[in-house]
């Protein structure tokens, strides 16, 4: 019998960042000054993030990895096999490997803003899993794009690991989940990795690794902005600041100006006082109760939950 090789496609949904000059300028001039964390992930930023995940202090990635590895078959039982598997923010497409054998998806659709990085990672995966059809999509997943035509008509599952949901504010996270629920439809499922609230010392350390990789990652956003906005940020003029806010249960990450400075951005001048901060990231941490409320507000219910024995990180299965 003649076998059709499942295809590998790469779709570039066009400029996703060029139209963001207005958003970036408004953020830089706003109160508080802010840069959306999605701008961390240029090629260098994606590499630095990968290095963060290997730092001894940064527990989320390896903890989630162990959870997925230990429970892949339970997870598949709860979610069901034979689905179209969507992964917004797929990056290096590493985590999905832990689930592919158990989940046996009929197609895999990784989505990421970092096009070359995604395309290379998805092409490697296609080589290693010749039975799997892969459609890699370069798009800004914070706006969850509509899906490409021609995907198999199987029920969908959206995989959103890494506690990336935590980088949204809580109202944004609710809107994202709501949108994700619509995207997967009535028979759809979601599988989410969520970093849990814990002692602030462990959290502070995870975002202030001794090797300084998180600091380099934070500062790299300025080099990315220099490219995008024809700006002249000098990263040496800024300091990395990160710490856990216990009231809001979130890491807050900033770039703090070391001195009075004027920065040229897309033809405008941004004036910074000495010590002034630019907010670059929230990383919200959830309690079980808090996450359940968030899911419920988005019209979803929890159908499974797996976590490590120290209760650092949780993986939730959700259904409409
Ligand atoms: C991608 N995201 C879940 C990471 C986090 O932990 O919030 C990004 C990160 N920022 C600093 N370190 C890692």
* Overall average pLDDT of the 71-93 stretch: 96
Number of Cα atoms under 13 Å in the Cβ half of residue 202: 12
Cβ atoms < 10 Å from Cβ of 258: 14
Task: State yes or no: pLDDT of 77 exceeds 60.
Answer: yes
User: Ligand 1: distance of its center to the CA of 166 in Å?
Assistant: 8
ipTM greater than cut 0.90: yes
Pocket flag, ligand 1, residue 135 (CB < 6 Å): no
Task: Give the model's pLDDT for residue 2.
Answer: 47
Helical segments of 53-114, H only: 59-79, 97-103
- Torsion angle, alpha carbons of 112, 114, 119, 122, to 10: -40
Residue 268 bridge partners (DSSP) = 265
pLDDT (tens digit per residue) in 269-313: 999 999 999 999 999 999 999 999 999 999 999 999 999 999 999
**What pLDDT is stored for residue 6 in this prediction?**
72
According to the model, what pLDDT value does residue 149 have?
85
Tokens of 49: 């993030």
**Do the beta carbons of residue 41 and residue 116 sit within 8 Å?**
no
- At 240-275, the pLDDT tens digits run 999 999 999 999 999 999 999 999 999 999 999 999
Ligand 1 atom nearest the C-alpha of 242 is 11
Q: What is the pLDDT of residue 18?
A: 53
Q: Count the neighbouring beta carbons within 10 Å of the beta carbon of residue 168.
A: 18
What's the distance, CA 229 to chain centroid?
A: 23
In the 3-class helix/strand/coil scheme, how is 179-223 assigned residue by residue? Answer: HHHHHHCCCCEEEEEEEECCCHHHHHHHCCCCCCHHHHHHHHHHH
Ligand 1 atom closest to the CA of 60, numbered from 1: 6
Average pLDDT over residues 85-90: 94
Please write the tens of the pLDDT for every residue from 153-212.
999 999 999 999 999 999 999 999 999 999 999 999 999 999 999 999 999 999 999 999
Residue of 38, 46, 49, 173 with the most ligand 1 atoms within 8 Å of its CB, for mutation:
49
How far apart CA 207 and CA 209 sit, in angstroms, is 6
pLDDT at 154: 95
> Is the shortest distance between the CB of 281 and ligand 1 below 6 Å?
yes
Residue 35 and residue 281 in contact, taking contact as beta carbons nearer than 8 Å = no
Long-range contacts of 37-41, Cβ-Cβ distance < 8 Å, separation of 24 or more: 37/167, 37/280, 37/281, 37/282, 38/113, 38/140, 38/142, 39/221, 39/224, 39/225, 39/228, 40/217, 40/218, 40/220, 40/221, 40/224, 40/280, 40/281, 41/91, 41/112, 41/113, 41/114
- How far is the C-alpha of 78 from the C-alpha of 302, rounded, in Å? 11
Name the residue of 35, 39, 47, 52 whose CB sits within 8 Å of the most ligand 1 atoms, as the mutation to test its pocket: 52
Say if ligand 1 is within 6 A of residue 164 CB: yes
Mutate-to-test residue for ligand 1 from 244, 281, 286, 313, highest number of ligand atoms within 8 A of CB: 281
Instruction: Report how far ligand 1's centroid is from the alpha carbon of 207 (Å).
Output: 8
DSSP 227-238: HHHT----GGGE
CA of 149 to the centre of ligand 1 (A): 32
């Amino acid at each position: 019998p003649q076998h059709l090789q499942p295809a590998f496609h790469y779709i570039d949904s066009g400029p996703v960042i060029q139209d963001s000059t207005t958003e970036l300028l408004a953020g830089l001039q706003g109160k508080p000054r802010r840069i959306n964390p999605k701008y961390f992930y240029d090629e260098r930023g994606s590499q630095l993030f990968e290095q963060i995940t290997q730092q001894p202090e940064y527990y989320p990635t390896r903890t989630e990895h162990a959870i997925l590895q230990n429970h892949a078959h339970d997870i598949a039982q709860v979610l069901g096999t034979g689905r179209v598997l969507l992964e917004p923010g797929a990056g290096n497409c590493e985590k999905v490997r832990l689930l592919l054998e158990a989940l046996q998806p009929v197609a895999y659709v990784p989505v990421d803003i970092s096009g070359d990085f995604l395309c290379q990672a998805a092409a490697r995966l296609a080589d290693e899993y010749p039975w799997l059809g892969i459609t890699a999509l370069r798009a800004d997943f914070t706006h969850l794009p509509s899906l490409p035509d021609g995907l198999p008509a199987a029920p969908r599952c959206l995989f959103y690991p890494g506690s990336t949901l935590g980088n949204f504010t809580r109202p944004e996270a609710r809107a994202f989940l709501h949108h994700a629920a619509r995207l997967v439809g009535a028979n759809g499922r979601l599988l989410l990795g969520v970093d849990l609230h814990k002692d602030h010392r462990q959290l502070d350390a995870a975002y202030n690794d001794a090797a300084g990789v998180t600091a380099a990652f934070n500062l790299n956003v300025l080099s990315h902005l220099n490219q995008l906005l024809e700006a002249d940020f000098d990263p040496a003029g800024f300091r990395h600041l990160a710490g856990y806010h216990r009231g809001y249960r979130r890491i807050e990450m900033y770039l703090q100006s070391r001195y009075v400075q004027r920065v040229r951005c897309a033809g405008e001048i941004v004036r910074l006082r000495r010590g002034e901060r630019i907010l670059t990231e929230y990383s919200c941490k959830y309690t079980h109760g808090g996450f359940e409320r968030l899911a419920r507000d988005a019209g979803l219910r929890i159908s499974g939950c797996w976590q490590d024995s120290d209760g650092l990180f949780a993986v939730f299965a959700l259904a409409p």
